Amino acid sequence: MMTKVVMLGTAGSAPTKDRRMPSVAVVYGGDVLLFDCGEGTQFQMLQYGINPVKVRAMFISHMHGDHTIGIAGLIRTMALQNRKEPLYIYVPKGEEAPVRSLIVFDRAMINYPIEIKGVRAGKVYEGKGYSVSAFKLAHTVPTYGYVFKEDDRLRFRKELAHKLGVRGTMFGELQSKGSLVTGGRKVTLKELAWTQQGKKIVYATDTRPVRETLGAAKDADLLIHESSYVSSEQRLAERRKHSTAGEAAMLAKRAGVKMLVLTHISARHRSDTQMLSDARKFFRNTVVARDGYSLVI
């Protein structure tokens, strides 16, 4: 199934004329998953064709305002659009109360269930055909990255199967039993099927480059990693617990990812030139995201 990624907001800490606050949408089938929800996210969704009512869950990396303030407006818009389905909001364990305050502060009429769930490392959410897992990051407050993983799929070598007499309901039997006899011959699942790996998207923002991200991103189709700074700002990145473009690119190379998208760009960087140059020294297939940048995986 097609997986679409839309970079709704790509700024870091403060918006600019060209960039709004952090948020990424992953669209899979009829589901929309939001990773962070900075101020103006609902406007960006309208701009780039993402239906708020289709949001099944939000995954918040940490509780800094640039990643969370948009929750208040978005859940009220969902209510005005007569949402009925439950909404799940995932936050670092122990940070549930601040999100709850964004929901109740004005006593808005919100007539659909909202569940706020505390996150620790591991699988946190399962949808139809996919799952989302969390892993720890290294920032100034408790912070998590997330992995969207499409389920692996069993694929049959149908031409060979038909040649051996396997047809119709026999495929289901072969899958459940592991083998069957047809035409006087034993046929095994192993010889007629193979596993297609599901797509993997990794989101890691507001963090130093850490081994947890390296492990989570191994062989990923896409790594979305923060890049607040360029190489000349290394000490600043270390002090503020962020990453440079070069550091993100080195991590992408080590993890063997297929593509790197840089986001959470500091307002001091109006041009992408230096950031892209720093990253491509280590990993060629790098993009510095702009708001509205999208790709299909």
φ/ψ of 143, rounded to 5, equals: -140, 140
Provide the domain limits for residue 188.
154-194
Q: Is the pLDDT of residue 162 over 90?
A: no
Are 50 and 185 found together in one domain? Answer: no
282 and 188 part of one domain: no
Over residues 220-233, the mean pLDDT reads 97
- Domain end position, chosen among 194, 217, 246: 194
Residue 36 annotated as catalytic: no
Hey, is 143 helix, strand or coil?
Answer: coil
265 plus 205 within the same structural domain: yes
Listed residues 194, 214, 247: the one ending a domain: 194
Average pLDDT (160-174) is 76
Q: Does residue 276 share a domain with residue 142? A: yes
Length of the chain: 297
**Same structural domain, 251 and 240:** yes
**Residue 98 burial (C-beta neighbours within 10 Å; 0-12, 13-18, 19+):** middle
pLDDT, position 161: 67
Quote the DSSP letter at residue 17.
S
- Whether 20 and 109 map to the same domain: the answer is yes
> What DSSP letter does each residue of 199-237 carry, written as one string?
PEEEEE-SS---HHHHHHTTT-SEEEEE--B-GGGHHHH
User: Among 79, 72, 3, 4, which residue's Cα sits nearest to residue 41?
Assistant: 72
- What's the rounded Cα separation, in Å, for the pair 203 and 47? 22
Residue-wise pLDDT for 72-82, tens only, equals: 999 999 999 99
Same domain, residue pair 115 and 227 = yes
Q: What is the number of domains present in the chain?
A: 2
Which tens digit of pLDDT belongs to each residue from 276-293?
999 999 999 999 999 999
Instruction: Residue 33: give its domain's CATH number.
Output: 3.60.15.10
110 and 176 share a domain? Answer: no
What is the reported pLDDT for 145? Answer: 98
* 21 plus 85 within the same structural domain: yes
Measure the CA–CA gap between 66 and 186, rounded to whole angstroms.
60
Question: Is the confidence at residue 174, as pLDDT, over 80?
Answer: no
Burial class (CB in 10 A: 0-12, 13-18, 19+), 41: buried
Read off the pLDDT band of 170 (50, 70, 90): confident
Q: What is the pLDDT of residues 227-241, one digit of tens each?
A: 999 999 999 999 999
Catalytic one of 66, 221, 278, 291: 66
pTM: 0.92
Is residue 167's pLDDT more than 90? no
Both 101 and 158 in one domain: the answer is no
* Domain termination residue (choose one: 194, 226, 258): 194
Note the pLDDT of residue 71: 98
Co-location of 86 and 168 in the same domain: no
What digits encode the pLDDT tens for the residues 90-124? Answer: 999 999 999 999 999 999 999 999 999 999 999 99
Give yes or no for a contact between 73 and 104, defined as CB atoms under 8 angstroms apart. Answer: no
- Please report, for residues 46, 56, 82, 261, the alpha-carbon distance to residue 136 in angstroms, rounded to integers and kept in the order given: 31, 23, 35, 20
